[in-house]
Amino acid sequence: METIDIDILNNCTQNNKERVWVVMNLFKKTALSLLVLLSFPFEVLAYSNYIIPGGESIGIEIKSEGILVVGFYKVNGKFNKGTPNIKVGDRITKVEGSLVDSVKGMVDLMEEHVKEGKVTLTVLRNGKDKEIDLDLTYEDGNYKTGLYVKDEISGIGTLTYIDPETKIYGALGHNIVEANTNETVEVRTGSIFRSTITSIDRSSSGSPGGKNAKFYSSTIYGNIEKNSETGIYGKYTIEVPDKKALKVATIEEIEEGNAKIYTVLEGDTLEEFDIEITKVDEKSDIKNIYFKVTDKKLLEKTGGIVQGMSGSPIIQNDKIIGAVTHVVISNPSSGYGISIINMLEEGERQN
């Protein structure tokens, strides 16, 4: 069954702490009265048992590692003959040996170092650096590369939770991918910030709708330290909202039957909507909860699940059990969610 991640990024529409403790067990050797020291390293994840549920819409901006090549354009009616050695998905990290971290910086270095219509680029491909000589075309007083590139990705999603003890947050419930390459975006820096919902495009069978939003990028809520298959994570850098903390439910506690999701459909107004959980999969890493929307207001307003709802927390029996992640394209009143435990554990781990 075809599904789609339900965030809006690129019009298709993330320091955590892994704690390795050494436990020393003392055993008394009776005959010699000696203490024997044994050490066992193991992972302890220190998320809280009670966390602040989200549901608020957030703007998202990620600056990726290197300048991402997303396509090619024609120069003088044809594709630049110097581009065959460059592929979509390559990350330009250096121009003539100098590091670049923005499109403007890359262009400035190219203009400074171009010789006989050529520049040497260092690109990152499949985890390895590769040097490539790129031929530039001089046209209308400018050198043209024939490359479409980008250095950041932005869009909207939904905040899932904030841990009030560590101030680690989680959002989306799935990774952010670059639309042209379908690859997970590597985070150099990033932030989440205020956004308000201005309108909704309804979902219909075969066509998932989406939230439309206004961004307030100067009102930053937190940074983005990690973009993983279970969501985006970082530190919430402003005061934690004064909201009731909910107990964390294990996946074994999730039941088939009634539940709620928290999300925003208009402005900043956070609302609760009814869903029914139809299946629980304890073995999956990312699709643990199968559900259908039963709330009449939500169905009338959105047609079901829309892009931009990813990360909306799922609540059952006054516990936070997971987050909405995907919509079923052929039936947008149905969707999938991830267990909150899977998100909390990933949020605690270091990159």
Give the catalytic positions in this structure: 174, 295, 310
Nearest to 304 by CA among 327, 278, 271: 327
Q: Name beta bridge partners: 292.
A: 276, 334
d(CA 264, CA 12): 19
d(CA 49, CA 249): 9
Nearest to 259 by CA among 280, 283, 243, 242: 280
Give the list of residues 6+ apart from residue 88 with CB closer than 8 angstroms, or none: 69, 70, 71, 72, 180, 181
For CA atoms 342, 241, 268, 59, the dihedral sign is: negative
Tokens of 221: 């809520």
- 301 and 203 in contact (C-beta within 8 Å)? no
Tokens of 228: 């993983």
Quickly list DSSP for 263-281: EEEEBTEEEEEEEEEEEE-
Q: Kindly state the DSSP code that residue 137 receives in the 8-state scheme.
A: E
